Amino acid sequence: MSKADNMLSILWLLRSGRRMTAQQLADALEIHIRTVYRCIDSLCASGAPIIADSGPNGGYRILGEFSDAPLLFDLEEQKALVHAAVFAQAAGYPFTNALTSAVDKLKRYTNEEQFEQIERHKSGLAVIQTPTDARQRELLQLLEEAAAQGQSLDMDYAKGPEPAVSRRGLDPYGIVHWKGVWYAVGFCRLRQEVRSFRVDRIVQLGRTDHRFERPAAFSAKDFLMRSLLPDALDAKSLVYVRIRGHEHVLNELCRHWLFGHSLAERRPGEALFRLGQPSLTTYVPYFLLPYGRSLDILEPSMLVGRIAEVSMEVAKHYEAMKMKTEEAKGRKIT
């Protein structure tokens, strides 16, 4: 048997709850006692709670309940975990070192064929993402740990391009990665309300002695989506927007961050979205305008009219720009 098979067999024998000596384990598995010692050392290094009791009635035993599931991943599960690690690392996952250690541990307990398969699958997947620097990963670690422990933080925050830095207390409820940017969601003690903050704009974080309880069933992800999509998903009046177009164009539209979250129905050559009425007169026309004549808006008619207005405004803008450019060229010639 391979080393991994021997390790699993030892775990199964010890899960019975009784103590077993190294010799008893070796006899039961028909392996050398030195192999037992090596496997026990590897199991302990991987985190298995194996206790060695000395004395006449001593032997090895497992402390408490122990699940052998982490060592029973099949090839597809191993591949999925390695691929997930690639995505997480590219997104700036704050606990990268622990993630790398976990993947290395997973590889360590595979046989040669499985190891080669994992490496081939890993090399076949790549993620293009703006790197997250070490300082931001440190902030993310502190935010995640404080959220899990219910510990309030002092935060110095620079809002947008403003040079001024404001200090506020923050009860972090969670961190969210969205469109290449990390956000911290929590209760702001300065504004006395739940707010979201871009982690790359956090100047400094400090622990405090204050504790908090996160509201039951609170979702940092849902809060962030609704704060970033004002009047689009949770508006008082939702309107159906029906759009017709070529399949590849509609597929691209459905991958858009706004339309993907508001998709109500998808048919061949047609898509139906539910959007807040206020958004149809503000930013939705600007999102649809780049698709040009490749899309037809079937309803509502007011959205068609608004896009026509925006199109004329854009045309006037560039027509004026064109005239200024020609006038500047004329002055240079004369």
| Residues 83, 77: Cα–Cα separation, whole Å | 10
Specify the pLDDT at position 109.
Answer: 63
**Are residues 77 and 85 in contact, defined by beta-carbon separation less than 8 angstroms?**
no
pLDDT at 319: 92
**E runs forming strands in 151-225:** 151-158, 165-178, 181-188, 193-198, 202-211
Q: Say what the pLDDT of residue 270 is.
A: 97
**In the CATH scheme, what is the code of domain 3-69?**
1.10.10.10
What per-residue confidence (pLDDT) applies to 69? 44
**Count of CA atoms in the C-beta half-sphere (13 A) of 310:** 18
pLDDT at 331 over 80: no
Mean pLDDT of 287-298: 94
104-116 mean pLDDT:
75
pLDDT of res. 183: 96
Ordered by start, the domain boundaries in the chain are 3-69, 73-123, 134-223, 238-313
**So what's the pLDDT on residue 274?**
92
Q: Is the pLDDT of residue 119 over 60?
A: yes
Mean of pLDDT values over 183-212:
95
Give mean pLDDT, residues 149-158.
96
Residues 252 and 215: their CA atoms lie apart, in Å, by: 37
pLDDT at 158 over 70: yes
What would the two tokens of residue 213 be?
């309880």
Average pLDDT, the chain: 87
Given this model, what pLDDT does residue 68 score? 44
| Structure confidence at residue 244 (pLDDT) | 97
Higher pLDDT, 179 or 21: 21
- pLDDT score of 105: 75
Question: In 10 A of CB 321, how many CB atoms?
Answer: 10
Q: Contact, 238 vs 277, CB < 8 A?
A: yes
Residue-wise pLDDT tens digits, 77-97: 888 888 998 889 888 899 988
State the DSSP code for 230. T
Q: Indicate whether 148 pLDDT > 70.
A: yes
Whole-prediction pTM = 0.66
Read off the pLDDT of residues 5-16 as tens digits, 9 standing for 90 and up.
788 888 888 877
Give the percent of the chain with pLDDT over 90: 50
Residues 54-79 have pLDDT tens digits of 877 789 988 765 544 445 567 788 88
Omega prior to 300 cis, within 30 of 0: yes
Q: How confident is the model at residue 334 (pLDDT cuts 50, 70, 90)?
A: low
Residue 131 DSSP class: P
Q: What is the pLDDT of residue 161?
A: 64
**Separation CA 304–CA 286 (nearest Å):** 12
Token pair in block for residue 81: 């975990």
pLDDT above 50 (res 213)? yes
Please state the rounded mean pLDDT for residues 38-45. Answer: 88
Same fold, 3-69 and 134-223: no
The pLDDT value recorded for residue 118 is 83
* Beta strands in 225-319, from DSSP E residues, in sequence order: 238-245, 263-267, 270-276, 295-299
CA distance 175 to 108: 31
Statement: 134-223 belongs to CATH 2.30.30? yes
Summarised one tens digit per residue, pLDDT across range 124-142 is 888 888 888 889 999 999 9
Q: How many CB atoms lie within 10 A of CB 63?
A: 9
